[in-house]
Amino acid sequence: MSTATASRVDLRLVPLTTEDRARLQKVYEASADYFELVGEVGVPPNTAERALLEAASIPERHVMGIFVDEELVGVLDFRLRYPGPDTAYLGLILIVPEMRGKGYGSLALDIWETWLDVQTPIARVRLGVAAHNRRAIRFWLRRGYRMTGEARRVAVGAATPRILFMEKTL
């Protein structure tokens, strides 16, 4: 995908493979607060390997590293043409805590959404957010996503948080 420079920062989205599992695992472990927020207790040591192997086995699923000045600072996990042919499903965007609040997540999403709009037949993006995560809901609303009115409980570890679905037309 493309590169963007904002405030002299080079942010890139780069496909990750199983060779990147150790670096991705560090991102997940540094972001244990997110996993706890959605109901996990800690980050299992094989989380990155599992995500990368699943992505390799699921059609059109991609795990992209978010790199800032050559440092892996986050991950963007999505699936194209799911749940419909003109839709992309954003499963996860995660920035390590020490890099949050600097606009990197928004910039990564800008690059990704522009790529979807210009280079693919995708017309909308869909995502799920935990109902108790008010901060995330406000973030997605500011980015132009809207509630679909759909919700369901999803098993995450021992918890079953209520997930609200949101969409944005590109």
Residue that is written with structure tokens 């570890």 in the block:
157
Give the pLDDT of residue 2.
46
Q: CA angle, corner 110, sides to 23 and 130, nearest 5?
A: 70
Domain 3-169 fold: Aminopeptidase (3.40.630)
Give the pLDDT of residue 158.
74
Give the pLDDT of residue 35.
82
On the CB side of 78, how many CA atoms lie within 13 Å of its CA?
26
Strand locations in 17-161, DSSP E?
61-68, 71-80, 87-95, 124-130, 146-153
Q: How far from 59 is each of 47, 88, 138, CA to CA, in Å?
A: 20, 12, 31
Low-confidence ranges of the chain (pLDDT < 50): 2-6
Beta-bridge partners for 162: 153
Provide CB contacts within 8 A for 51, sequence distance 6+. 24, 63, 77
Query: What are the pLDDT digits (tens) for 73-121?
Result: 999 999 999 999 999 999 999 999 999 999 999 999 999 999 999 999 9
On the CB side of 129, how many CA atoms lie within 13 Å of its CA?
21
